[in-house]
Structures are given as C-alpha cells and as structure tokens.
Structure 1
Amino acid sequence: MPDRLLAVFPAYRDNPYLNLMLLAPRARGWNVLESLRLEQLEQHLGRLGTGDVFHMHWTSPIVQRNDDDLEEARVRLDRFRTAVDAARTRGARLVWTIHNVLPHDARHLELELELNRYLAGAADVVHVMNRDTPAAVSSYYELEPAKVVHLPHPSYQGVYPDSVSREEARASLGLTDRDHAVLAFGQMRPYKGIDVLVEAVRQTEPSKRPVLLLAGRTTPDDREEIDRLLGDDVRAVREHDQVEDIDVQLWFRAADTAVFPYRRVLNSGVLHLAASFGVPSVLPDEPHLRAEFADEGWIRWFDASAPVESLRVVLAAPATGAAETAEFSRRLAPFALSRQYAELLDAVRE
C-alpha cells in the first residue's frame, strides 16, 4: 500500500488534463484520492498527515453551486477551510492550481475572493500554467513570488485518435477544398464570445467562403441564442453535444483555423489540443496571453477592444505557422509534464 496520499479536488473523471497530469504520480506510488463533493473531500482530508498532499484545482464547487444561496455558500466555505486547516496542522501540504482568474459566471463573488485569498495564503505551492498569472490576478489577490511554480499546460500529443485524413474529415462535415473552416471547440458558453465570432464570420468576405465549425456541449438556452446569432446567412456545421474522443480528430483535421474569442481567459486546454492537431489559432491580444505565447508563430492575435473588426481582418488573411505546432506539442509532451508535476509533489512533501 503506498504511504503517500494525494487528495485531488475536484477530480473530474472526464477531464483529460487531470488524467494526463496524474499519470506519473500514480506510477511513482502516490495513492490518489479523488472527490467531487465537499462531503467526500472532508473525509479524504481527514486521512492526510505528514508526507501527504492536497491538490486543489477549480474552486467553483465550494461556493459557486447553482442551488446555494449566500448563507449556504458561506457554510460550505467555512467547512472547507476547517478541513484544510486541520489537514495542514497534521503536516499535510497544500498545492493550488490557478485555472482561472475567477470562476466563469461567479454568483457569490465576495465569497469567491475570500476563498481565493485563503488559498493564496495557505498554499505551500501555487501552480500556474500561465507565467503572467500573478499579474493577471493581482486586482483580486496577491501571490507570494516564492510560492509560485510555473508548469505549463501539457499538449495532447498522442492522446486522441488521429487516423483520419484532412480530406476525409472535411468530407464528413460537408466541406469542400475551397471552404475556410473556422473552429470553435469546447463548451459553448456566453463568456467564450461566440457572438463576436459569429459576427466576424458574417462580415468576412463571401469570396473567402468562411464556414463556422461549432462543436461542444451546449445548454438548451445557449443553443437557442446561438441559433438566433447565426440567423440564415452564416454557414455553420454544428455539434451541440460533447464530442466523443474518436471524433475529436474530425473537427480539428477539418479546420483551417481555431479561434478563441474569449472575453476572459487565463488558460485554455483547447489551444493545446489545436496545436496537437497542427491547427493555427487566434487568441485575444491580452498581456498575460502574450507573456505565455508571444513566441509561437502559429498563433495570431485579435484586438479585444474591437473584436469583430479585428477578427474579420485576421480571418480574411491566410493562416500560417501550422508546421510550428509540432515543435510546441513535443516541447509540452504530456508525460514529460506529468513527470515534472510528480517531481513537484515529491519536493513539496519534504
């Protein structure tokens, strides 16, 4: 029985990032305790002591549950802190990965800030995937420089099936050689700027033959909004359910460009997925994104202060840099990053 416990919360079983990063720790003998509910996390934290680690990821399940009012969210925050403090008193270490500046669509903002400030103060290590995270979050809370460890998001090199040719993928989605396929992949949510992307595609010259590819889980309300946005004049191929692993290749192999018209983003696993399939990408020209990706020739930028016009211009120009994605994906190969994460865990427990 391994003598090292690693409690991970929230441990989404279908999250490829978590699954990849936990490969090396599991291989090195860490006994991973996975939980999704606060009640189960409290039990796991109660088992931790010297030499064990609690790794906190996304904070939304603590104080941002849809059905919780402010009082209920406050009780959950207090329970979480009590359980974490008790584990730390027994010698357990705390690692916090900052995935977002703040949770998207946060309902109880003051409690969220209180939680983030608590984690920033209590954590032994604050793991960031974007090197400019301390500046990006500085309006809300401060990070001690000595605690911050930069470990980038891994690529998905070799993770997803990749047996379909570009021609086969495009034919399966009804595209011709002349179509310029613009992909937005992942959950379709308001903060992701789908409205901006649709309007930019609408304003792109028809001679460029733009086709919008939308693939990812969508709520009924958001789907109705997307239907309205598209109208009758924007060509689109859509899948509004979660894309099965075997079909991920179809959307990326068919795409000419992947676009991330986000209004607010710190890290994006889909960007690394696009690179893993050799697809050039377009990002908002934000300082923290420039800090992490400025040297990547396969990434183009649009002006977030005038997003529709800027995206229209970018989409009208030929995409470049596809060959450079291979080097990026090799540099961030998943098991190599997982080994670095395992080394981080070994160091923090000492």
Structure 2
Amino acid sequence: MPDRSLVVFPAYRDNPYLNLMLLAPRARGWNVLESLRLEQLEQHLGHLGTGDVFHMHWTSPIVQRADDDLASAGLRLDRFRRGVDAARSRGARLVWTIHNVLPHDARHLELELELDRYLAATSDAVHVMNRDTAAAVAPYYALDGARVVHIPHPSYQGVYPSSGSRSEARTRFGLGDTDRAVLAFGQMRPYKGLDVLIDAVRRIPSADRPVLLLAGRTSDEDRASIDALLGDDVRSVREHDHVEDVDVQRWFRAADVAAFPYRRVLNSGSLHLAASFGVPAVLPDEAHLRAEFGDEGWVRWFDTADAAASLAAVLAEPVGSAEGAEEFSRRLAPFARSREYAELLDEVATSTSPER
C-alpha cells in the first residue's frame, strides 16, 4: 500500500496513551506527523489527500489557550475548520477521539461547544473509550451512532517497570506495617477532586486515618492550594513533579487503594495504571463510569451526592482485594488495542463515505 500520512493533534510526546496507540499504525507503515501548535497542524493538513487521515484528540489547544481572548479564540477556530475542510475536500478523512465531555477548566465555553459540534458532525469516525460517551456528551452535542467506534483505553500491562516489592516501596515512603495508604496519581489539578479526597480522609478518626500518597505534576498555584487543604492533621507523602517511569511502580506498590474523586471525568489512564499494578480503585458512582467499569470487582464506588462523607466511609474500611484487576489488564493489553486502532485507520482511510 502506498505511503499514508496520519496527522495527530495535539501530539504530546510524553503521553503514554498516544505512544501506546500509535505502535501498530507505525508498524503498518503509517507516516505519523505530530504537532502541538495550530500553525504546524495547518501545514500538515495542507499535505493530506486521499488515503490520509487526520486524528484529532484533545480540543483545548484550539480555543482554550490561556492567552487568547474571545476574538482570538474565534479566529483560531475558523482557521482550524478551514484547514480540516480543505483536507477533507482532497479526500482525507477525519477521526476524533473524545477524551473529555468538555475540556477541564474551559474558558470560552460557547466556542468549545461550536468546535465539538463541528467535529461530531464532520468526523468520519468518532472514537470513544467509554461505551456510554454518547449519553455523557448528549447535553452538549449529539453523536451519530453509526460513526461511533468503541475501543477501550489500553491497560499498561508490561509498559512500566514492575520489579520492586511492596515492602521496598513502603519503606521508601516511610510507611509502617499498620499504615494504610491512599494514592492519588496523575497531574494534580482542581477537577481531580483533591479537596474532596482530603476532606474525606480528615473525616476518618485520627487513629484510623490513612496516609495520603500524592504524585504528579502540579502548578505552583495548585500546590499552594493543596498545602492549605492538607493542613497539619493529614499525613501525606508527595511528589509534585512528573513521576519518572521507573518510579511509577513505587507509588502503586506502596498503596492499599487508589482514589479518583474526579469531577466531570470521562476516561482515566491512572485507573488503568492501578489495575496494571493490582491496586483496588475507588470511583465516583456516575452512570457512564458504571457503564464501563460496573462489572469490575476491584472497583469500589462512592456517592457523588455526598461525596466526602461517602468516600470517607469507603476509605475507613479495609478495601479488600483487587481480584479481577490482572484479568482486566490482560483483556485490555496495549498492543491489541493499538491493532484495533490501526484497523480503524485502515477502514476509515479506504472508506467512500460521502462528504458531511
């Protein structure tokens, strides 16, 4: 088959999800063009034609840049649509992965909705990782079920080093034999619900209060907020920077449970990390999360109507085993998911779907 180009935007080089999913397409000979800036994306789109694919991932770089006012964001949206429309007029195809219902901390909401509705109407295929995505986004935009493709988030089985022991990890973090440890892993941002988690831990009597493990890149502003939330009565072990691959295992090996008290979350790579290391997880009891993980015995749930109290009740008791997590990770082994993605690209690239 002739060389085919796959334009990926935005392509975060340190994003493990993107790196995993692109394994099979690269192996099949796709020429992957990566960009982070709209200006470079426009150049890449200008070279696309029949047999090529543009894959749009996170939408926030288009109209949610912090230094853009409303007018500037609107101009960027116009430029984006012109570039995509021109590429599609030459025969290129468009795939959109819905990572979030809306970007976290969206500034220009109306423009964001305009962009999402454009992508929903124009994409030749809409990739979802959560099978209930259409219902989750329905208050904001509609998806055509005939173009929705469900490929779950891959696990991280075999991706990160996993040679260390639990005792070594806990000793490194100063945890005793009787300490229970609750892990929040990933970028520390307000939508992650850290205030709810800290409030929940504080509600547990001090004699039984678990230790908080917090690991992930954090802005100076958010770190100051976390400092204030923790006070001096919640014990914690923290790393407010990017966690190197070799150190990921230590955080999960040391933990008894991983907590994800997210606000408005659709997909979570950190949840799959927990499964890959055999750590039970706690999620908000929301319909779209139940749809994807409701049958997983290693996942516990807390009631979002009274989040802190409900989460405290879950964390106050021994969380139990992570039975089923290993099978879950095997089922979602990364290269198998990447092959599914490569097959989707092949199908879209050769489709004769009419212009939308």
Which residue in 2 is equivalent to 1:334? 334
Which residue in 1 is equivalent to 2:116? 116
For the residue of structure 1 that corresponds to 2:270, the secondary structure is: helix
Which residue in 2 is equivalent to 1:6? 6
**Counterpart code for 1:195:** D
Which residue in 2 is equivalent to 1:47? 47
Structure 1 runs, 4 residues or longer, greater than 2 Å off: 205-209
For the residue of structure 2 that corresponds to 1:306, the secondary structure is: helix
Contact 1:8 1:33 in 2 (8 A): yes
Alpha-carbon deviation of 1:323?
Answer: 2.8
For the residue of structure 1 that corresponds to 2:329, the secondary structure is: helix
Alpha-carbon deviation of 1:324?
Answer: 1.2
Which residue in 1 is equivalent to 2:171? 171
Q: Tell me the alpha carbon deviations over residues 221-247 of structure 1, each in whole angstroms, 9 at most, x when there is no partner.
A: 111111111111001001111111111
Q: Tell me the alpha carbon deviations over residues 20-74 of structure 1, each in whole angstroms, 9 at most, x when there is no partner.
A: 0000000000000000000000010011100000000000000000000001000
Which residue in 1 is equivalent to 2:202? 202
**d(CA) in 1 for partners of 2:110, 2:243:** 35
**d(CA) in 1 for partners of 2:278, 2:322:** 5
Alpha-carbon deviation of 1:163?
Answer: 1.1
Q: After the TM superposition, which residues 303-318 of structure 1 pair with which residues of structure 2 at under 5 Å, given as runs?
A: 303-318=303-318
**Counterpart code for 2:77:** L
**d(CA) in 1 for partners of 2:103, 2:314:** 29
Alpha-carbon deviation of 1:207?
Answer: 3.1
For the residue of structure 1 that corresponds to 2:153, the secondary structure is: coil
Which residue in 1 is equivalent to 2:21? 21
Which residue in 1 is equivalent to 2:242? 242
**d(CA) in 1 for partners of 2:185, 2:142:** 32
Which residue in 1 is equivalent to 2:157? 157
Contact 2:297 2:323 in 1 (8 A): no
**d(CA) in 1 for partners of 2:9, 2:67:** 20
**Counterpart code for 1:245:** D
Q: Tell me the alpha carbon deviations over residues 155-194 of structure 1, each in whole angstroms, 9 at most, x when there is no partner.
A: 0000011111000000000001101100001111111110
**d(CA) in 2 for partners of 1:2, 1:266:** 37
Alpha-carbon deviation of 1:2?
Answer: 5.6
Contact 1:283 1:300 in 2 (8 A): yes
Alpha-carbon deviation of 1:264?
Answer: 1.1
Structure 1 residue runs of 5 or longer lacking an equivalent are none
**d(CA) in 2 for partners of 1:164, 1:76:** 47
**d(CA) in 2 for partners of 1:221, 1:76:** 28
Alpha-carbon deviation of 1:321?
Answer: 3.6
Contact 2:209 2:316 in 1 (8 A): no
**Which shifted more, 209-218 or 133-142?**
209-218
| TM-score of the aligned structures, taking structure 1 as reference length | 0.99
Which residue in 1 is equivalent to 2:269? 269
Contact 1:126 1:147 in 2 (8 A): yes
Which residue in 2 is equivalent to 1:292? 292
Q: Tell me the alpha carbon deviations over residues 203-262 of structure 1, each in whole angstroms, 9 at most, x when there is no partner.
A: 113332410000011111111111111111001001111111111111000000000011
**CA pair 91-230 structure 1, distance change in 2 beyond 3 A:** same
Which residue in 1 is equivalent to 2:128? 128
Structure 2 residue runs of 5 or longer lacking an equivalent are 351-356
For the residue of structure 1 that corresponds to 2:47, the secondary structure is: coil
For the residue of structure 1 that corresponds to 2:304, the secondary structure is: coil
Which residue in 1 is equivalent to 2:353? none
Q: After the TM superposition, which residues 78-157 of structure 1 pair with which residues of structure 2 at under 5 Å, given as runs?
A: 78-157=78-157
**d(CA) in 2 for partners of 1:339, 1:205:** 49
**d(CA) in 1 for partners of 2:274, 2:205:** 25
Alpha-carbon deviation of 1:96?
Answer: 0.1
In the alignment, is residue 70 of structure 1 matched against residue 70 of structure 2? yes
**d(CA) in 1 for partners of 2:84, 2:220:** 37
For the residue of structure 1 that corresponds to 2:97, the secondary structure is: strand
Contact 1:178 1:209 in 2 (8 A): no
Which residue in 2 is equivalent to 1:58? 58
CA RMSD of the aligned region, Å? 0.9
| TM-score of the aligned structures, taking structure 2 as reference length | 0.97
**d(CA) in 1 for partners of 2:21, 2:64:** 25
**d(CA) in 2 for partners of 1:332, 1:210:** 31
Which residue in 1 is equivalent to 2:222? 222
